[in-house]
Amino acid sequence: MNLIVISLLVLGITGCAAALLLYLTARKFKVEEDPRIDEVQEVLPGANCGGCGFAGCRALAEACVKSDSLDGLLCPVGGAPVMEKVGAILGMTAAASDPKIAVVRCNGVCAARPKTSEYDGVKNCRILHSLYVGETACPFGCLGCGDCVAACPFDAIHMNAETGLPEVDEEKCVACGKCAQACPRGIIELRKKGPKGRRMVVECVNKDKGAVARKACLNACIGCGKCQKECSFEAITVENNVAYIDSEKCRLCRKCEGVCPTGAIHAVNFPPKKPAAPAAEGQQTQPTAQKEEVQA
Amino acid sequence: MKTFRIGGVHPHDNKIYSAHQPIRECPLPDKAIIPLVQHIGAPAQAVVEKGQKVKVGELIAKAGGFVSANIHSPVSGTVTKIDVTSDAWGMKMPAIFIDVEGDEWLESIDRSTDVIRECSLEPKEIINCIQEAGIVGLGGACFPTHVKLMPPPGKKAEVLIVNGVECEPYLTCDHQLMLEHGEEIMTGIQILMRALGIQKAVIGIEKNKPDAIARMKELASRTLGVEVQPLRLKYPQGGEKQLIDACIRRQVPSGALPIEVGAVVDNVATIYAVYEAVQKHKPLISRVMTVTGKSVEKPGNYSVRFGTPLTQVVAEAGGVPEDTGKIIGGGPMMGRAMNNIDMPANKRVSGLLFLPEAESRRTEPENCIRCGKCVDACPMGLEPYLLSKQAEKKMWDEMEQHDVMDCIDCGCCLFTCPSHRPLLDYIRMGKATVGGIIRARAAKK
């Protein structure tokens, strides 16, 4: 009996002493942390993709709390709604941001870009790029080994077996930029998604002179400059034999698409252009509706 | 018989096709294209203009820095343009285009075949002469030779190691050069010894070239301080560090250059070029190339002026065989498959190998069975299985810790892997990335 009492007492006292010690230590060495960091982290998607430029969601949350304004801080996954919530927690206004999307700027489909050699090494764009021009004659185009697919943490980019090119799933892509980093040829660009996902893209980055580029790929931009002349908003620049559309200046008039002799300029997510036969009246009204949208 | 101590593999040497074929002169092209990048280091800067007449041996591009090399006109004619051309891998490189007219040499060049043995130039003058002649290491790396001959302060060369190993299967150009121009090479060795201020030279030759060993031994017996070291067959014995270990039993520390252990290594072809530059005032404008393969009609060793399209060299050897699956620039171990043989011959291309379709295919890789054969085979004592996995997983820091920068791209790991894993492909990619990271770090500091 006595033994039990003594043991209980000894254990109890030791326990209390240890608890007191822990409590005092915790008080003494407490790390002051802004509780808002946790709150902000709660709002963030928690994908830890690094698309914001920080090491993860926690790092972005810390940066948001530390910073005086939310300019330049953006979670590409959550976009404007999440940043608004973050702003609400911190009592700041989130900078307006246009949602972006990864765009593959190569349209060298198998039919347009004949194979000149066969590569039997490792299916890895980085390795292939370091070895030689690739299976086709275009030294700028997509290599088709799928480094971008492997890099995507959101399963938003896939190889199309028919064209041999990667395709971005517009629903899933959050513009974290992982694929753009992975591409050794710098084909993938993060561009403004545009109203209703509509955008104009030059799907070629070939810097060769027109004739050389055209010989390698029928869909190549030959840098003729017709689109630049046609554009009334100075949105198109032709540099190093390749055209580039500035998505900030582009007003989606689609004129450039019509003049491009090689079809390198693509209008994405637009309704089908004026039907050949004036069959349905509803369809004819679409262009005007579109114009209104643009003006708005 | 000696050989290097760590790793190594034994590929079939396949030299029978072109061995003992006398060096034949390849005819001059109608239009020569001379690339401005034919060496490691900064590209050369063109010093000729469109329309200018040039003679054989005239300087057409000046070295773009200390680690760079001059380029001389290999033909006589008119410069038509300075533009870009495609290399053997489809990438662009700047080049000088010359329309060939006759074969008019600079008068200062001695074109006789007499061997001039006496050299009374000062070491500085010799090195200057080598630098002017644009000589680079013709063993494969194309490192400017004059840089090797100027050890950094505090370092002293003790022994010149002459690389007559030619460990790459199929290639025979160095072998033939030793047989035909042994005396010139011996004089070249003496010139280099004089330039370096040393008394000792060792010529390393693998034992599959007994006639070359006999020939060089006979010449060495008449030359003070030069000895011939016959070596047991093992790839990659021609690697600088492996050859030093094999010949003088010294190991170059990780990340260091051969000069660290007092050695300077030069290939026999380079030494022949040194002889020609110093004694005959002939700059580096041609080299001996091996064109070989099982189905090649006339395999052999060809003396080719730079700028000659490789297609013309191939035509000399009887054209591209019908069953060709891969054309490799260099040997089968370290060479690279080419997808364009319109490329002009240059200082870099030591051979053309035509592999039949059946032999050229890579086998489908299987899982690593952790047998450790690649570790045994690696002549640099690395762990290829680990490095390749790290490269696959983009673990650059870990790769650096595991000394990926010591990899010499010899391909022993890939050759020995029973699962045919693409070890070297990944390691090379990792090495390039880690090299970039290290350079960026150095630039920051």
Q: CATH number, domain at B196?
A: 3.40.50.11540
B115 and B250, same domain (yes or no): yes
Total count of domains within chain A: 2
A105 and A72, same domain (yes or no): no
A182 and A80, same domain (yes or no): no
Burial class (CB in 10 A: 0-12, 13-18, 19+), A18: exposed
Share the mean pLDDT of chain A: 86
Output the pLDDT for position A283.
Answer: 43
Q: How far apart are CA B67 and CA B23, in angstroms?
A: 31
Domain that holds residue A234: 100-271
A75 and A192, same domain (yes or no): no
A187 and A241, same domain (yes or no): yes
The region that residue B239 occupies, defined by phi over 0 for left and psi between -120 and 50 for alpha, beta otherwise, is beta
Closest by alpha carbon to B333, among B418, B237, B207, B231?
A: B237
Scan residues 273-302 of B and list those with Cβ closer than 8 Å to A. none
Q: How far apart are CA B187 and CA B118, in angstroms?
A: 8
Q: How far apart are CA A227 and CA A255, in angstroms?
A: 8
Output the pLDDT for position A284.
Answer: 43
A72 and A127, same domain (yes or no): no
Encoded amino acid at B303, one letter: S
Tell me how close the Cα of A55 comes to any Cα of chain B, in angstroms: 16
Q: How far apart are CA B273 and CA B292, in angstroms?
A: 23
Last residue of a domain, one of A69, A90, A111: A90
Residue A157 clears pLDDT 50, i.e. is over it? yes
Tokens of residue A271, six digits: 């309704």
A177 and A226, same domain (yes or no): yes
**Among positive and negative, which fits the CA dihedral B150, B155, B160, B164?**
negative
Q: How far apart are CA B219 and CA B213, in angstroms?
A: 10
- Count Cβ neighbours within 10 Å for each residue of A65-93 and write b for 16 or more, e otherwise: beeeebeebbbbbbbbebbebbbebbebe
A198 and A243, same domain (yes or no): yes
Asked whether residue B49 is domain-assigned, the answer is no
Output the pLDDT for position A281.
Answer: 43
A106 and A244, same domain (yes or no): yes
CA-nearest residue to B433 within chain A is: A126
Residue A131 clears pLDDT 60, i.e. is over it? yes
Question: Phi, psi at residue B429, to the nearest 5°?
Answer: -65, -45
Tell me how close the Cα of A66 comes to any Cα of chain B, in angstroms: 27
Last residue of a domain, one of B247, B263, B280: B280
A107 and A163, same domain (yes or no): yes
Tokens of residue B160, six digits: 């010149």
Output the pLDDT for position A292.
Answer: 42
Asked whether residue A296 is domain-assigned, the answer is no
A81 and A145, same domain (yes or no): no
Residue A280 clears pLDDT 50, i.e. is over it? no
Q: How far apart are CA B331 and CA B316, in angstroms?
A: 19
Interchain proximity A122–B339, CB inside 8 Å: no
CATH number of the domain that A69 lies in? 1.10.15.40
Tell whether A284 is within 8 A of chain B (Cβ).
no
Scan residues 101-120 of A and list those with Cβ closer than 8 Å to B. 116-117, 120
Residues of B in contact with A126 (CB under 8 A): 429
* Bridge-based pairing state of the strands B31-35 and A242-245: unpaired
Total count of domains within chain B: 2
B124 and B256, same domain (yes or no): yes
Strand ranges (E), B136-245: 159-163, 200-206, 226-231
Closest by alpha carbon to B220, among B234, B197, B237, B201?
A: B201
Domain that holds residue B396: 373-444
Last residue of a domain, one of B234, B250, B280: B280
Q: How far apart are CA B61 and CA B252, in angstroms?
A: 35
Scan residues 414-443 of B and list those with Cβ closer than 8 Å to A. 422, 425-426, 428-429, 432
Q: How far apart are CA B212 and CA B233, in angstroms?
A: 14
**Partners of B354 in the beta sheet?**
B293, B327
Q: How far apart are CA B26 and CA B4, in angstroms?
A: 37
Question: Which helix (H) or strand (E) covers residue B428, if one does?
Answer: helix B423-444
Please, which pLDDT band fits residue A293 given cuts at 50, 70 and 90? Answer: very low
Q: How far apart are CA B34 and CA B79, in angstroms?
A: 10
- Count Cβ neighbours within 10 Å for each residue of A247-264 and write b for 16 or more, e otherwise: beebebbbebbeebebeb
Residues 6 or more apart whose CB falls under 8 angstroms from that of B157 comprise: B151, B196, B197, B198, B259, B262, B263, B264
Tell me how close the Cα of A117 comes to any Cα of chain B, in angstroms: 6
Q: How far apart are CA A192 and CA B133, in angstroms?
A: 56
Specify the DSSP class assigned to residue B292.
Answer: E
Mind listing the pLDDT tens digit for each residue in B97-144? 999 998 999 999 998 888 888 888 899 999 999 999 999 999 878 899
Q: Is residue A272 reached through a cis peptide bond, with omega within 30 degrees of 0 on the bond before it?
A: no
Output the pLDDT for position A165.
Answer: 93
Asked whether residue A64 is domain-assigned, the answer is yes
Asked whether residue B157 is domain-assigned, the answer is yes
Output the pLDDT for position A277.
Answer: 52
Per this entry, what is the length of chain A? 296
Residue ranges of chain B with pLDDT lower than 70?
Answer: none
Residue A288 clears pLDDT 70, i.e. is over it? no
Asked whether residue B363 is domain-assigned, the answer is no
B276 and B377, same domain (yes or no): no
Tokens of residue A171, six digits: 């629903």
Burial class (CB in 10 A: 0-12, 13-18, 19+), A159: middle
Asked whether residue A61 is domain-assigned, the answer is yes
Q: How far apart are CA B205 and CA B230, in angstroms?
A: 5
**Partners of B326 in the beta sheet?**
B355
A175 and A252, same domain (yes or no): yes
Residues of B in contact with A120 (CB under 8 A): 361-362
Tokens of residue A213, six digits: 């580029």
A84 and A114, same domain (yes or no): no
Encoded amino acid at B113, one letter: T
What count of Cα atoms within 13 Å lies in the side-chain half-sphere of residue B25? 3
Would you give the distance in Å from CA B193 to the centre of its chain?
A: 21
Interchain proximity A134–B90, CB inside 8 Å: yes
Helix pair B384-392, B423-444: axis angle to 10 deg: 70
Helix pair B268-280, B182-196: axis angle to 10 deg: 80
Q: What pTM did the predictor assign?
A: 0.84
CA-nearest residue to B338 within chain A is: A132
Tracing tokens 């330039």 back to the chain, one arrives at B195
Mind listing the pLDDT tens digit for each residue in B194-248? 999 999 999 999 999 999 999 999 999 998 899 999 999 999 999 999 999 999 9
B250 and B392, same domain (yes or no): no
Of A116, A121, A133, the CB nearest to B91: A133
Residues of B in contact with A215 (CB under 8 A): none
Last residue of a domain, one of B280, B315, B339: B280
Asked whether residue B178 is domain-assigned, the answer is yes
Output the pLDDT for position A159.
Answer: 94
**Partners of B35 in the beta sheet?**
B95
Asked whether residue B226 is domain-assigned, the answer is yes
Residues of B in contact with A116 (CB under 8 A): 90, 339
CATH number of the domain that A264 lies in? 3.30.70.20
Asked whether residue A22 is domain-assigned, the answer is no
Strand ranges (E), chain A: 100-104, 157-160, 165-168, 188-192, 199-202, 236-239, 242-245, 265-268
